[in-house]
Amino acid sequence: MKSTFVRGKSRGFTLVELLVVIAIIGILIGLLLPAVQAAREAARRMQCTNNLKQAALGIQNYHDVQGTCPPMTTVYRGYSGGWPSYNVTVSARVLLLPYVEQSAIWSQFENESQKVSGASIWSGIGSIGEPTWAYKIRISTWTCPSDGYSSQMTNKFGEAGTTGRANVFFCAGDAMWGNQRAEKYEGDPKAKISSRGMFQPEAWHSLAFCVDGTSNTIGVAEGCSGDNYETRVKGGLAEVSALYDGTSAKPGPCITNGYNANDRTLVSQSSNTWRGTFWADGRTQSSGFSTNVPPNSVACIWATSWPWLVGGAQSYHAGGVNAAMMDGSVRFISDTIDTGNLNAYQVQSGVSPYGVWGALGTPQGGETTSLN
């Protein structure tokens, strides 16, 4: 008997089956994408942690060699103008270069700074027009990859040429009234208040200044970079006159008046500042932060002429900011950290009225507060 074999007919996907497969793939991608994004952010946050760790160790190495920590900002090479002349200030970020494995850039700065008396952040840009050195260099140690703006090398107004930005900022303490002033040059009592922070203009503090303990005192933390008249909360500074009432200053009005009434991602009134725009700029509003208003909230200044700084610890990480203590350890500070009574006037001595956050910013507040 002759056998026969019947080949089955091949059958393709129906439209319904194809749509089901596509839907399943879409669901899987939807489930995996947040995990991938979370992993990437975790890596970026770890890089920020490492950068802050390197900055803190750089401060300690500077202290070992120089006997003090660097000032937040200082004049340089015999500048004879009056203080404060903000256009001739050099940030602690510059002074720390040899101690964060950036000796080549430091050498270039040293060599070229001798060409201009009081070599400043503006050397080689604007009207001075001599050295160009390293202002056009982006130094990864001073930036956080979570801040997409810090990868930019120009500002939105096109002013002052091309310069690297920064996300590492220095702690000016819990006080705001006069934290731009240098007690070294001024007898004004406002300047005395500024000594509540580890880093101030023209102030070389040793680690012995941390009476409350180096593990309980913040040295550096993250901040977001912005442009002149930046309108974003992250990277911008709101100009709020209510911070100062003619007698003293308090941070509460920053939270009350600093946000745009219709959009809390924007400031109420942008200010003439360059927050982290030029990494070598040492002015307090450009290079520092204060521990009064909560992390990632709006930051404020009192006025353009005397821009006393309120707040400024900010990041693009969810829920808080990284901060390095003066002992070199790095901690994650929650946005919900206790900030005490924000409507209390700042103090010149003693316990900070601004809770745990204020206590961590004061080296000599007499607090035993820690994050442990």
Where along the chain do its domains lie? 33-72+142-155+164-361
Q: Residue 166: is its pLDDT beyond 50?
A: yes
Q: Residue 205: is its pLDDT beyond 70?
A: yes
- In the chain, the amino acid numbered 370 is S
Residue 128 CB contacts under 8 Å (≥ 6 apart), including other chains: 116, 120, 122
What average pLDDT score do residues 136-147 get? 87
What average pLDDT score do residues 205-233 get? 92
pLDDT tens, position by position, 37-95: 666 767 777 889 999 999 999 999 999 999 999 999 887 665 544 444 444 578 899 89
Are 299 and 307 contacting, i.e. CB atoms less than 8 angstroms apart? no
Using CA atoms, how far residue 18 sits from 10, 14, 23, 24, 29, in Å, is 16, 6, 9, 10, 17
Q: Residue 19: is its pLDDT beyond 90?
A: no
Q: Across 165-246, where does the E strand assignment appear?
A: 168-171, 218-222, 238-239
Worst-scoring range by mean pLDDT, 56-60, 242-246, 330-334?
242-246
Residues in the chain: 372
The predicted model scores a pTM of: 0.85
339 or 308, higher pLDDT: 339
Residue 322 CB contacts under 8 Å (≥ 6 apart), including other chains: 45, 48, 49, 52, 221, 222, 315, 330, 331, 332, 333
Q: Residue 351: is its pLDDT beyond 90?
A: yes
Encoded tokens for 1? 């008997």
147 or 159, higher pLDDT: 147
pLDDT value at residue 303: 81
As a whole number, the mean pLDDT across the chain is 82
pLDDT value at residue 348: 86
pLDDT value at residue 155: 64
| Cross-sheet strand order for the sheet of 238-239 | 238-239, 300-301, 309-310
What average pLDDT score do residues 117-135 get? 47
Top-confidence range, 72-81, 106-115, 164-173: 164-173
Encoded tokens for 338? 């206790």
Three-state DSSP class for 223?
A: coil
Chain centroid, CA 91 distance in Å? 13
Three-state DSSP class for 332?
A: strand
pLDDT value at residue 193: 72
Worst-scoring range by mean pLDDT, 8-12, 37-41, 135-139, 290-294?
8-12
φ/ψ (deg, to 5) at 267: -85, 160
pLDDT value at residue 262: 95
What average pLDDT score do residues 120-148 get? 65
Q: Residue 162: is its pLDDT beyond 60?
A: yes
Using CA atoms, how far residue 21 sits from 18, 29, 32, 35, 176, in Å, is 5, 12, 16, 22, 60
Encoded tokens for 289? 């932060």
Worst-scoring range by mean pLDDT, 22-36, 169-183, 310-324?
22-36
Query: What is the gyration radius of the CA atoms in the chain, in angstroms?
Result: 25
| Band (135; pLDDT cuts 50, 70, 90) | low
pLDDT value at residue 282: 84
- pLDDT over 90 percentage in the chain: 45
Q: Residue 352: is its pLDDT beyond 70?
A: yes
Residues 313, 290: Cα–Cα separation, whole Å: 7
What average pLDDT score do residues 117-139 get? 53
Nearest 5°: CA angle at 150, between 145 and 154?
A: 150
Residues 28, 35: Cα–Cα separation, whole Å: 11
pLDDT value at residue 344: 95
Residues 370, 372: Cα–Cα separation, whole Å: 6
φ/ψ (deg, to 5) at 2: -85, 120
pLDDT value at residue 113: 65
Are 308 and 249 contacting, i.e. CB atoms less than 8 angstroms apart? yes
Query: With the C-alpha atoms ordered 58, 64, 70, 76, is the resulting torsion angle positive or negative?
Result: negative
Could you write out the DSSP letters of every residue in 68-103? SPPPSEE--SS--SPSP-GGG-EEHHHHTGGGTT-H
Chain centroid, CA 3 distance in Å? 84
Three-state DSSP class for 207?
A: helix
297 or 303, higher pLDDT: 297
